Structure 1
């Protein structure tokens, strides 16, 4: 076995050399040294079932040989020349994305991170219509740069002491804890209707775009009711406001569709993607209809965006998703997981809500008075890690267990996960 410095030495170096804003999940974190499809291995050789996929990145599995072999071959052939020169893969990937994205989305711009893609999408909207104000949802997360941080509706991520003005937040479609205190469907999409009021009383009427995650990941896997985005799109179109859909966490078969917004039968004006497109390679993109995209004519480039290696990974990912029916597996295994969680909910009322689409599922843990229970989430996540299962956590109060495993996960894997989770929930005090 190779020699590794171990978790304690890693933490020593982290403390000395890494800016302290970067945290980690576990009280006793393992040092991961190897990945193979749905599994990770630490420096001792211990095996873990990865149920978080690097935060919805490794949709096709760790070190997937069908993807990795193509990436290695490209690395050995041509790694980088910058997109100001002609290379073929960038155009082939753009063509494939035009074929698999919803509606009339056709023209892409490649960059390296989800933050960059969202920043670029907001810029494109502003270029297209000349307006400057922005709408976003409470509890949304869109990035780490100044603008994307300021359209993020989660206080813990808004660390900029001087936020940008002209950004307005609407209530998010969080039915379990409705910000308006209403119940669906009697509410008649009150959270969407509130956008109309915000446009009229909080803005100057010069709103460029509204940016929304199709499913709010960091907010706790918040899934809107089926007709939410249709109502929202009607309101935005009435006011000539573009709809930007952020698919950074939800894209590439995660929800049982290639993109999550397809579950809601709405066509975005601009859409962003990253994470799973590269299956670990850093690549992102924003894509739009030609009449919007073609307004962006002044010079724009991304030094590493769309490089030969990342685009090779992107093409290989799309081919693997189709060849191995990952959308179908995500749907089937997600239904299995949520059914199992709801069975556990009957026995353990600490699970207040189970929600999700495909293999993007959240289980919100609560106290007896329905207040958030982040301490219980921490216990479950840590104890499941010790048993060899890696579960994420999110939610505004960090009280939601997040299940976003590689989409190649099996029926047997889900059963093992649920059996162990049942054992651990029985230990929660």
Structure 2
């Protein structure tokens, strides 16, 4: 058998745990023709000129053991054999053995500029060396500069910024603001929405998986304007009538506010039906309430067509919350509102120790600069549209795909076992995620087909040289692929993702 010719720069130096054929490169330019003809064609990952340094830390098994012993027992993990990711560069991640993965999940829609983007890293390191933390009781230009830059991205009179540490914290503050400003308690939210896991946000979240058995009062969950499974299809105005009914029959006629994501992230990349938000905003304001846009996942150009998800619906909220993409991985969140609403917090002392930390705000400001400099919103639109078209084309080939939806680089693929009944393909979703990641999934299958050691080894090499696609899952039934990669994603990456998905589905 001829030797494989390894393309330079495709493989990182192996760790001390790597052995033999498992360290084979991702790319092969020649394979013995007599064997190649019998090997299924696997997609080839795009070339990327970066190799991480060798990893000498603890193994995945050792980390998992510590995690089970010392960390939150409620934390789950993807995959039967959890990944130990030790390095990242732009849209790629690397495990302990130097294997490369295409990150199509982006740390749950968090990494927008790319992993370890040099300009973001430089801003963080420079500020850390100069001043890591003081307090907002003193002056520091980073928080003021970032606040100004963030306010410039907002429409209307949304010009006052409150910095937080997460999306949950931002939404908690927004709900508090609405209640203080209106002097009313009732909040309206949408079924299938997710807004956090603290007291008020857990109440406004309408998915049982994320709700503990504690007192949750003053929140009314209305019909989800789900264009795929909803009772009114894409007629947003019909769904909006349920909000009117809730206000009329479930409240005093006055509400504090309404909170919604323009595209439900945890809920399975479900974009609200057209016409829904304008109608609901009108009803809420007529009842004296404020409209809160949860942009934790859909903000910062991810949807491509607009910088904020709510802009696609032609509305201007009273309060906007954000996190995730705001810091490219830094623990940072924010609430932006009007001066009038912001004054509602001045009757008491509202303080946040780390909200506006110099390192975090320096990183956030760098993110805004990179988004503009590299035109990443436009890239999200261009590449996202291309990717969505390619995903839609798979529906003609694979019956398991029930729906493809979303905007820009916030896309969802819902899997079903029956298109007519829309039966959730929960088991199949997990299986495909494993296949797309790549694992020792072919061994038994191959040994039953051939006794040729050469054939067997080529399959192993190809398996470990390709696949390597990481996606998320969501939706109420856990049957939706969540595709939210870094915004530096390319058309070549999109092709590879779709080809891997196609290949994996073809093997089912």
**TM-score between both structures, scaled by the size of structure 2:** 0.82
Stretch deviating more after TM superposition (4-13 or 50-59)? 4-13
Q: CA deviation at 1:82?
A: 1.5
Are the equivalent residues in 2 in contact too, given 1:101–1:258 (CA < 8 A)?
A: no
CA distance in 2, matches of 1:247, 1:137: 15
Q: How many residues align?
A: 423
CA distance in 1, matches of 2:121, 2:211: 36
Q: Which residue of 2 aligns with 1:17?
A: 70
* Pairs within 5 Å for 1:119-138: 119-138=172-191
- From the CA coordinates, give the structure whose radius of gyration is larger: 2
CA distance in 2, matches of 1:184, 1:147: 30
Q: CA deviation at 1:175?
A: 1.2
Q: Which residue of 1 aligns with 2:331?
A: 282
SS at match of 2:184: coil
Q: Which residue of 2 aligns with 1:253?
A: 301
Among residues 131, 146, 151, which one is paired with 1:93 in the alignment? 146
Are the equivalent residues in 1 in contact too, given 2:226–2:234 (CA < 8 A)?
A: no
SS at match of 2:132: coil
Say whether 1:295 aligns with 2:344. Answer: yes
Among residues 468, 483, 490, which one is paired with 1:410 in the alignment? 490
Say whether 1:30 aligns with 2:30. Answer: no
Q: CA deviation at 1:276?
A: 0.8
Q: Which residue of 1 aligns with 2:271?
A: 223
Among residues 350, 364, 386, which one is paired with 1:314 in the alignment? 364
1:204-241 deviations in Å (ceiling 9; x for gaps): 23310111111111110010123221111111121111
SS at match of 2:424: coil
SS at match of 1:204: coil
Q: CA deviation at 1:173?
A: 1.1
Q: CA deviation at 1:63?
A: 0.3
Q: CA deviation at 1:25?
A: 1.4
SS at match of 1:176: coil
Q: Which residue of 1 aligns with 2:374?
A: 324
1:38-81 deviations in Å (ceiling 9; x for gaps): 00000000000000100011000000001101110000000101
Q: CA deviation at 1:148?
A: 0.8
Q: Which residue of 2 aligns with 1:340?
A: 390
Are the equivalent residues in 2 in contact too, given 1:84–1:301 (CA < 8 A)?
A: no
CA distance in 1, matches of 2:282, 2:253: 16
* Pairs within 5 Å for 1:346-385: 346-368=396-418, 369-385=421-437
Q: Which residue of 1 aligns with 2:247?
A: 199
SS at match of 1:295: helix
Among residues 125, 136, 157, which one is paired with 1:104 in the alignment? 157
Stretch deviating more after TM superposition (237-246 or 50-59)? 237-246
* Pairs within 5 Å for 1:12-161: 12-159=65-212, 161=213
SS at match of 1:296: helix
Are the equivalent residues in 1 in contact too, given 2:55–2:97 (CA < 8 A)?
A: no
Among residues 204, 209, 232, which one is paired with 2:257 in the alignment? 209
Q: CA deviation at 1:406?
A: 0.2
Say whether 1:162 aligns with 2:214. Answer: yes
What are the ranges of 5 or more consecutive residues in structure 1 without an aligned counterpart? none
Q: CA deviation at 1:295?
A: 2.3
Are the equivalent residues in 2 in contact too, given 1:272–1:287 (CA < 8 A)?
A: yes
CA distance in 1, matches of 2:232, 2:223: 12
Q: CA deviation at 1:5?
A: 1.5
CA distance in 2, matches of 1:221, 1:381: 17
Say what the alpha-carbon RMSD is for the aligned residues.
1.0
Q: CA deviation at 1:420?
A: 1.1
CA distance in 1, matches of 2:232, 2:143: 47
Q: CA deviation at 1:184?
A: 2.9
Say whether 1:272 aligns with 2:321. Answer: yes
**TM-score between both structures, scaled by the size of structure 1:** 0.97
CA distance in 2, matches of 1:170, 1:370: 22
CA distance in 1, matches of 2:285, 2:201: 23
Q: CA deviation at 1:163?
A: 2.6
